[in-house]
Structure 1
Amino acid sequence: MKYKHVFIGIGVCILLSLYYFSNPTEVNFFPKCPFHTLTGFHCPGCGSQRALHQLLHFEIMETLNYNALYILGLGTIIYNTSVNTINKYWNKNYYNILYHPKTPIYIGIIIILFWILRNIDIYPFNILAP
């Protein structure tokens, strides 16, 4: 399909517009977290829809309140895209630490620790819950 990227871009713009104009805390048509619905515990992604809405409104502290891992994930995506773009278009050869063999292990540990800690109902861990 020749225009696949155009359709993906249009879809992303529509989705971002939906999250910009509709607050997930005030409307019920956004999907609920199946893990939280079934168990009552927060998964690492819980609060991401509300965090996206706040981020689109440049409310960084509110974004962190809903899901602190969200900002770290976006930073990782920005870092990876930047290094790959610089290497490709400026003919550089910067090392991308995300391609180190142990990086997925470290990222997995961070996600699992965040998952566990945000479900402990004792201060200061309870501030990680959305």
Structure 2
Amino acid sequence: MSFATTERRGTGRLKGLLAPLGVAAAAGAVFAVVGAVDPNEPGHYPTCPFLWLTGLYCPGCGTLRTIHALAHLDPVAALGLNPLAVAMIPFLLFWWGRWVVRAWQGKPRRMTLAHPAWLWAFIGVVMVYWIVRNLPFGAFLAP
């Protein structure tokens, strides 16, 4: 293997890492902004359109306050605001880490995030969560 081949391979690795590192930078920026600008104070962020129209919580309601709580190292408050968002963090980190490893190894991007059965199961969990958090016995899931 020549030096030129090794140099191209290294450059290809860095190019392949641009997208996952860009996603990490964007996520870090969102985390920093939401950590600095308190969503508990009115007027900083728009109201959830689903909550505004129906008076019911969507699966994402409370996520900004969850991110704010996590930025301030308060995982208990974060769990109380949106436990589904907190539970998703390890999965998102796993998928992002897998993306970084594949990019570093020079493997092509996978066109599927996960097996379709897992995606349908996730959609089912989100739907059940959405319904239960709006029922009287699921009030503990409301933000």
Shorter chain as denominator, the TM-score bin is 0.7 to 0.9
Q: Could you say what secondary structure the match of 1:99 adopts?
A: coil
Distance of 2:96 and 2:19 partners within structure 1 = 20
Q: How far 1:9 moved relative to its partner?
A: 7.2
Distance of 1:9 and 1:79 partners within structure 2 = 13
Name which of structure 1's ranges 60-69 and 4-13 shifts more when overlaid on structure 2.
Answer: 4-13
C-alpha change, 1:89 and 1:19, in structure 2 (3 Å) is same
Contact 2:69 2:78 in 1 (8 A): yes
Distance of 2:21 and 2:60 partners within structure 1 = 28
Aligned twin of 2:84: 69
Whether 2:33 is the aligned partner of 1:18: answer yes
Distance of 1:70 and 1:20 partners within structure 2 = 16
RMSD value over aligned CA atoms? 3.1
Name which of structure 1's ranges 68-77 and 10-19 shifts more when overlaid on structure 2.
Answer: 10-19
Distance of 1:4 and 1:102 partners within structure 2 = 27
TM-score (norm 1): 0.77
In structure 2, what residue type is equivalent to 1:82?
A: G
Alignment of 1:1-130 (within 5 A): 14-89=29-104, 99-122=114-137, 125-130=138-143
Q: Determine which structure has the larger helix proportion and give its number.
A: 2
Distance of 2:120 and 2:93 partners within structure 1 = 20
Name which of structure 1's ranges 3-12 and 39-48 shifts more when overlaid on structure 2.
Answer: 3-12
Q: Could you say what secondary structure the match of 2:88 adopts?
A: helix
Q: What is the aligned-residue identity percentage?
A: 26
> Which structure's relative contact order is higher, taking Cα pairs within 8 Å and 6+ residues apart?
2
Gaps of 5+ in 1: 93-97
Q: How far 1:25 moved relative to its partner?
A: 1.0
Distance of 1:105 and 1:41 partners within structure 2 = 23
- Based on CA coordinates, which of the two structures has the bigger radius of gyration? 2
Deviations 1:43-91 (A, max 9, x none): 0000011111001111111111110111122221101112233344368
Contact 2:32 2:71 in 1 (8 A): no
TM-score (norm 2): 0.71
Write out the 4+ residue segments of structure 1 that deviate beyond 2 Å after TM superposition: 3-18, 83-92
